[in-house]
Amino acid sequence: MTQEAGEMSFWDHLEVLRGTLFRSLLAITIFSVFVFCFKKFVFDDVVLAPTRSDFWVYKLLNMDVKMSLVNLDISAQFFVHLKVAFQLGFILSFPFVIWEIWKFIAPALYQNEKKTIRGVFLAASFLFYLGLYVGYVLIVPISLNFFLGYKISEAVVNTISLNSYISLFTSTILAFGIVFEFPAVVVILNKLGLVYKDTMNKYRRHAIVAILCIAAIITPADPFSMIIAAAPLLLLYEASVLFCKPRPAEAEEDAE
C-alpha cells in the first residue's frame, strides 16, 4: 500500500467509498433516464429486433425465426420499460463505473502495479461490450431459434410472454458481458501472484470441461449452439494464458 493510502483512516476510506458509490449510482441513473426517454428506438430497433424474422443475424445464419409477444399483466409493459432502462443505463455507464472503481483502489497500489492494472481496467470496458455483442448477435438468436422450434407436442402452441422474452434477453447478454471479463480478472490475479501461466496450462482440460458446462447452462440448446457459445469462451481462456506471466524462479522454489 502506498504512503498516501496508508495515512488515510478507516473513516476516510469509508468516505471515499461512499463518494464512489454515489457517483456511480448517479451515472447509472442519468443514463437510465436517458434510455427511458427513447422508448421506441430502444425497444423496436434494439431489444425486440431479435423477435422479427428480418433480423440480419437470421438471414446470415439462414434461420427462420417467427415469434410474437403477448402481455399477460396490465402493468408489465411499464415495469419492463423501467427494468430495461435501468439495465441499459448500467451498460452505458459501465466505463465510468470502472473508472470510479479504479480511482478508489489506485491509491492502495504500488507504482509498479498501477501501470499494469490500469491497462486491465481500460480493457475491462472493451471486454464487457464485446461480451454483450456476442450475446446479442449469437446467443440470443440461437436460443430463440432452438426454444421456438422445440415442441413436446403439436397440440401445444408457443405463446411467448413479454416478461419471458425480456428475462432471456437481458440475462443472456449480461451473462456474456460478465464472463468476458475473465481475462482481466486473470491478469489481476497474475499480477498479485495468485495465478501463473503454468497453472493455466496445467488446468486447461479442466477449464475446457467447465467452459462447456457454462455454455450448456447459459445456452441450453442443441450441441451446435453450445459449441458456438463455448468458442468465444475458449478463446478468452487462451487469451488469458497468453497474457499471463510465468511463475518466477523464487516462487517455483517455494512451491517445491
26-38 residue pLDDT tens:
999 999 999 999 9
Q: What is the pTM of this model?
A: 0.82
- Residue 133: pLDDT over 90: yes
- Mean pLDDT, to the nearest integer, of 224-243? 82
- Residue 56: pLDDT over 80: yes
Confidence of residue 1 (pLDDT cuts 50, 70, 90): very low
- Three-state SS string across the chain, please? CCHHHHCCCHHHHHHHHHHHHHHHHHHHHHHHHHHHCCHHHHHHHHHCHHHCCCCHHHHHHCCCCCCCEECCCCCHHHHHHHHHHHHHHHHHHHHHHHHHHHHHHHHHCCHHHHHHHHHHHHHHHHHHHHHHHHHHHHHHHHHHHHHHHCCCCCCCCCCEEHHHHHHHHHHHHHHHHHHCCHHHHHHHHHHCCCCCHHHHHHCHHHHHHHHHHHHHHHCCCCHHHHHHHHHHHHHHHHHHHHHCCCCCHHHHHHHC
- Residue 172: pLDDT over 70: yes
- Residue 221: pLDDT over 80: no
176-201 residue pLDDT tens:
899 888 888 888 888 777 888 888 88
